[in-house]
Structure 1
């Protein structure tokens, strides 16, 4: 098992800073965020550790150089292109192949306005047949993430989406932090259900907080990202379940809490993940 950090969660670091600091802390790899983003100062806008999709092909040598110079590996590529955007989706697949990264996330879709879930899901499955074909062409694996608010919040939905497609070229990112919000299935059940489609693992944590009180006294709860040790997701149980199904691939952290300074947060997360992995029977090194 190897550990990486998704750079969506390192917004204040430049690519060089992110790679250097993470390598010095002992991380094995990095998962670069690639998207054209709005201006701002947050995880998702103005993130300094994000590579733009526009002109991506001209940045591939630099992405490879920054990664390899630090001694890191690519755990995957964190793409945001949906399968409906076939031009850019194919570009992401080609870039992943050129980098030798192996895996890339293809963004999940929501229910289209004016359509039912079933209609949108059927259309998305046709899109993924195309994704599988292009991933095979490029010799990489395209991944759909278990993500709240999309057509695939659960392992059951993702398995149904990819069923019958070649697991060598399509797969699923298991994300327990997202599943706490929507799509919850016990780790041992969800991992068993994904089977050969389990391709990658993301970890973060989430807790629900009272966000307001209605006039009749009804409490309104909303999710909030919290440090890995503090949320609803039982990460030690996840690692035991991963061990039980024989998973020994990448685990990528995307910690969107902001209680601790960034460098302290990433270092502490590596210590925590290493300890619970060893307790589950892994030997991360």
Structure 2
């Protein structure tokens, strides 16, 4: 199993702390979604002029960069220029780090038909693919927001081109928000999934830290989401992609500190047979 975590888990950590803790916890890779310098790593010096040293630091700790999580919103027509500019910066950073995968969002105006949102996504990916180095990146659509069901996501892949876009499967989102059994999601899109996000939650609408839909994040294996069964299912399918822990400490300050959460994730997932 290839284990990584998104750096949403540790918003207060420096690059050096991220790499050191990742290695000590037993991870194989890091998915960058910010550091203590901010959310967008493509604007940080250690990922610009200093990127060669950053890559050496990561590799010297026996790690790789599993991916870069961007804020690109493929279906948002108002952000087309911004999306392409971010993609240009992200290609340079991902290439410099030796990372293959870049996460994108779907998003888009829900007041228009899906077909219109898909047309915007195709135009956006057309412009991104015109950039130097874009064809060396695995661009991934995360199952998120309104892009949750396998039917919708397959429509996106068909519209954009399955050779140009894959799926980052957030199992918590597809099962909790989309109510789609993980077996169905995998049957519909398994060949397009090189990476999964994992997190757990409990339904406690009366609790202080519950989200708007009544769910509250907890450590993996401690909640009500079928992530243990999903991991066991993926292992049986010989899934060889990344198992990425998405501990959203940056957005939910009440969550466990990263030192505890990262070790809990490795212990939990390694125990699944």
Question: Shorter-normalised TM-score: what interval?
Answer: 0.7 to 0.9
Matched, 1:21 2:12: no
Over 3 Å counting, the alpha-carbon distance change for 1:123 and 1:96 in structure 2 is same
Over 3 Å counting, the alpha-carbon distance change for 1:24 and 1:144 in structure 2 is same
Query: 1:3 offset after TM fit, Å?
Result: 0.4
Distance 1:106 1:221 in 2: 24
Larger relative contact order (Cα-Cα within 8 Å, sequence gap ≥ 6): 2
Within the candidate set 181, 189, 192, 1:194 is matched to 189
Quote the residue 2:269 is aligned against.
273
Within the candidate set 115, 139, 142, 2:139 is matched to 142
Normalised to the residue count of structure 2, the TM-score between the two structures is 0.82
Within the candidate set 191, 197, 201, 1:206 is matched to 201
Distance 1:136 1:158 in 2: 25
Query: 1:181 offset after TM fit, Å?
Result: 4.0
Normalised to the residue count of structure 1, the TM-score between the two structures is 0.78
Distance 1:186 1:200 in 2: 18
Query: 1:137 offset after TM fit, Å?
Result: 4.3
Over 3 Å counting, the alpha-carbon distance change for 1:73 and 1:52 in structure 2 is closer
Over 3 Å counting, the alpha-carbon distance change for 1:119 and 1:137 in structure 2 is closer
The answer to whether the 8 A contact 1:172-1:199 is kept is yes
Quote the residue 1:215 is aligned against.
none
The answer to whether the 8 A contact 2:220-2:264 is kept is no
The answer to whether the 8 A contact 1:10-1:49 is kept is no
Aligned to 2:194, the other structure's residue is in SS state: strand
Quote the residue 2:227 is aligned against.
235
Q: How many residue pairs are counted as aligned between the two chains? A: 256
Query: 1:247 offset after TM fit, Å?
Result: 1.2
Query: 1:169 offset after TM fit, Å?
Result: 4.0
Over 3 Å counting, the alpha-carbon distance change for 1:259 and 1:50 in structure 2 is closer
Q: Which runs of 5+ in 2 are unaligned?
A: 75-79
Matched, 1:68 2:68: no
Distance 2:70 2:94 in 1: 10
Root-mean-square deviation (Å): 2.7
Quote the residue 2:257 is aligned against.
261
Quote the residue 1:109 is aligned against.
107
Within the candidate set 159, 171, 183, 1:176 is matched to 171
Distance 1:261 1:167 in 2: 38
Correspondences of 1:22-41 after superposition (within 5 Å)? 22-34=22-34
Aligned to 2:68, the other structure's residue is in SS state: strand
Query: 1:129 offset after TM fit, Å?
Result: 4.2
Query: 1:270 offset after TM fit, Å?
Result: 0.3
Query: 1:30 offset after TM fit, Å?
Result: 0.7
Within the candidate set 223, 234, 240, 2:215 is matched to 223
Query: 1:12 offset after TM fit, Å?
Result: 2.6
Quote the residue 1:121 is aligned against.
118
The answer to whether the 8 A contact 1:132-1:165 is kept is no
The answer to whether the 8 A contact 1:2-1:28 is kept is yes
The answer to whether the 8 A contact 2:70-2:103 is kept is yes
Matched, 1:252 2:254: no
Q: Which runs of 5+ in 1 are unaligned?
A: 35-45, 213-219, 280-285
